[in-house]
Amino acid sequence: MGGVSGRQRTAEVRNAAQLHTYRQVEALLAGTEFVAPGLGRAAHWQPPPSLCPDPDDEASQVLLGAVGRVPFA
């Protein structure tokens, strides 16, 4: 029978909070973690070791200002 497309499911989401939750659940089911837009690097925020395995290695730093998904550690 006719299934519901991703576009139809997204259209059913009514506000930004529901959309954020929907994306978090979608990312969880895909085995990734949703990184919220506008999550900037703050001086008081200490990322868990799984996000920054080696603080001295710039290549291992997570760009928190970007929107996207990062694999679960």
3-state secondary structure of 61: coil
Note the pTM of the prediction, 2 decimals.
Answer: 0.29
pLDDT (tens digit, 0 to 9) for every residue of the chain, 73 residues total? Answer: 456 666 666 666 566 667 777 777 777 777 666 666 555 444 445 656 666 555 555 554 444 444 455 555 4
Spatial distance between the Cα atoms of 12 and 39, rounded to a whole number of angstroms = 26
Instruction: Tell me the C-alpha to C-alpha distance, in Å, between residue 16 and each of 2, 6, 20, 29, 55.
Output: 28, 17, 6, 20, 33
